[in-house]
Chains A and B, each alone.
Chain A
Amino acid sequence: MITVKGISKSFKVPRRSAGMGQALKSLFRREYTVVHALSDISFSIEPGEIVGYIGPNGAGKSTTIKVMSGILVPDSGTCTIMGYTPWRDRVRYVKRIGVVFGQRSQLWWDVPVIDSFELLRDIYDVPEREYRDTLDLLTETLDLKHIVNTPVRQLSLGQRMRCEIAASLLHSPSVLFLDEPTIGLDAVSKIAVRQFIRTINKEKGVTIILTTHDMNDIEALARRILLIGKGSLLYDGSLQELRSRFGTRKTITADYMERQEPLAIPGVSIVSWTPERAVLSVDTEQVMMSEALTRLAEQVDLLDVAIDTQPIEDIIVQLYKEYQIS
Chain B
Amino acid sequence: MRVAAASPHSSSLEPVLQDYLTCDQCKRARIKDRRVKIPRPLGQGPSSFIPVKEIVHKGLEDSERQLFIEAFVSTGRVDNVTMVMGLHPQYLESFWKTQYYLLQMDGPLPYHYRHYIAVMAAARHQCLYLVSLHVNEFLQVGGNAEWLNGLNFVPQKMRNLNEINKILAHRPWLITKEHIENLLKTGENSWSLAELIHAVVLLTHYHSLASFVLGCSIRHELDQDGGFTFRPPSPQSCDSDSASNSGSEETVNGSASRDDLRELEILMEKMKLLQEGRPDVEASQEEMATRFEREKRESLLVAPADRESVSPTNLSCFVEDADFGYKDFSRRGEQTPPTFRAQDYSWEDHGYSLINRLYPEVGQLLDEKFQVVYNLTYNTMAMHCGVDTSMLRRAIWNYIHCVFGIRYDDYDYGEVNQLLERSLKIYIKTVACYPEKTTKRMYISFWRHFRHSEKVHLNLLLLEARMQAALLYALRAITRYMT
Q: Do A and B come from one complex?
A: no
